[in-house]
A and B are shown apart, each in its own frame.
Chain A
Amino acid sequence: MKKGTFIIGLLLATATAFAQVDGISTFFSKYENDPAYTKVTVSGKMFSLFTHIEGETAEEKEILKTISKLNGMKMLVRDNTTNGKQLYQQAVKTKMPGFEVLMTVQDKDEDLQFYIKEQSGIVRELLLIGGGTTEFFMLSLTGDIDLKQLSKLSRAMDINGLDKLDNLDKKK
C-alpha cells in the first residue's frame, strides 16, 4: 500500500515538473505555425559559440558579459496588428506554473508584464510579454540572469524626462 502511494506521488511530482517546463513552451508553440508571427530561437549551442566573440566597445563588452551567463532565448513577435493589447490580455491569462510576476507596466502605448522563475535565489528565466496598439511580443531568456546587469545595457539611452523630476530634490 505504502509502495503504491509512493509511486503515485512520484508520478504526480514528475508530471508537475514537466508541466512547469512545458508552461512556456506551450505558450510559444501555440503560435508556432502562424506565419503572421516572427519566431526567433537561439539555442544553448549558439550561446556557447558566442564565447568566441570579442567585444570591441564598452557596450559590446557589457552585452557579451550578459550573454556569457545565458543559455537560451526565444522570441515571438507579431507586428502590424490591430489587436496587440487583446493578444496581450489572452497571454497574461495563461497559467504558468513556476513563474511569478516581477513587474507590470501599463500606459497608453503598451502593456508589459515581466515574469521570473527563480531557483535558489537566482533568476533562471525571464519572460516578457508585451502588447501595444500595433504589436504583440513574447520573449524568454534562460540561464543565470542578472536583472541589474540587463537593465544597465540600455540605461544610457533611456532618460524620458526623469531628469526634470530629479530637480525636485534639488529645489528642496
Chain B
Amino acid sequence: MHSLREKFWNGETSLEDERLLKEYYKHLPEEYAALPEEQYFILLASDPDAILDENFDVEVMSKIRDENKPRSMAPWLTGLAAILLLVLTIGLVRFFAPAKPDAPSIAVQPASALKDPELARAYEQTREALMFVSSKLNKGQEQTLLLGKFDKAKQQVQYTIVQ
C-alpha cells in the first residue's frame, strides 16, 4: 500500500491502482490511519462523486477574472442616473424651445369687449348668421303651424255649418 501511495503522489497510478487504493481506504477505520496523508485517502475514498468535471477550470478562472474586475455601479443607480438624464434633457428642450406661434394665449373675455378685431368680427358674423338661420327655421316651423291651424279652423267652420 505504501508503494501505491508513492505511485499516486508521483502521478504514476493506473485506474486499477487507484481503485485498489480507494477500496483499501474505504474499509480502513479512521483510527487506524497512522499518517496524515492516510486521512486524505480515507476522505477521498468516502466520497466517490468528488471528481472534478471538465468545466471546473473554466469556472474557477472566470471567477478569478471577475474578482479582478472593477466593481460596476449597482443597477438601480444606473437606472436613476438614466431617469435624471432624461428629465434634465426634457427640461432643457422645453426651456430652450421657441414657443409655438399658434398657441392660444387668449384669456376669457366678455363678448362685448373682445380685443382681437378678427375674432370680434368672426364672432359677430357667426352670431348674425345663427340668428338668421334661427329666424328662418322658425319661419318654416310657423308656416307648418299656420297650415295646421288653418286646417283646424276650416274643420271648425264646416262643423258649425253642418250643425
Residues on A lying within 8 angstroms of B by beta carbon are 40, 42, 46-50, 52-56, 60, 63-64, 66-67, 70, 73, 75, 103, 105, 107, 112, 114, 126, 128, 130, 139, 141, 147, 150-155, 157-158, 160, 162, 165-166, 168, 172
Q: Tell me if B40 is interfacial: C-beta within 8 Å of chain A.
A: no
A selection of 8 A-B contacts at a CB cut-off of 8 Å is: A46-B119, A52-B107, A52-B108, A53-B119, A53-B123, A73-B129, A126-B133, A162-B142
B106 engages A105 (CB within 8 Å): no
Contact (A54, B108) CB under 8 Å given A42-B125, A46-B122, A105-B143 = yes
What are the residues of chain A within 8 A of B144 when measuring CB–CB? Answer: 103
B139 to chain A, nearest CB (A): 6
Q: From B131, B134, B136, B156, give the contact of A112 (CB < 8 A).
A: B136
> For the side of the interface on B, what is the size category?
35 or more
Contact (A168, B153) CB under 8 Å given A64-B111, A75-B129 = yes
Q: From B104, B134, B152, give the contact of A168 (CB < 8 A).
A: B152
Residues on B lying within 8 angstroms of A by beta carbon are 104, 106-112, 114, 119, 122-123, 125-127, 129-146, 149, 152-153, 156
Q: From A56, A60, A151, A172, give the contact of B141 (CB < 8 A).
A: A151
Q: How many A-B residue pairs have CB under 8 A?
A: 117
Determine the distance from Cα of A42 to Cα of B127 in the docked complex, in whole angstroms.
Answer: 11
A114 engages B137 (CB within 8 Å): yes
B134 engages A154 (CB within 8 Å): yes
Contact (A40, B129) CB under 8 Å given A54-B111, A60-B111, A147-B137 = yes
B24 to chain A, nearest CB (A): 85
What are the residues of chain A within 8 A of B133 when measuring CB–CB? Answer: 126, 128, 139, 141, 150
Q: From A42, A66, A168, give the contact of B156 (CB < 8 A).
A: A168
**20 other contacts beyond A50-B123, A53-B109, with CB at 8 A cut-off?**
A42-B122, A46-B122, A46-B126, A49-B106, A50-B119, A53-B110, A66-B130, A70-B126, A107-B143, A114-B140, A139-B133, A141-B130, A151-B134, A151-B137, A153-B130, A154-B135, A157-B135, A158-B135, A158-B139, A168-B156
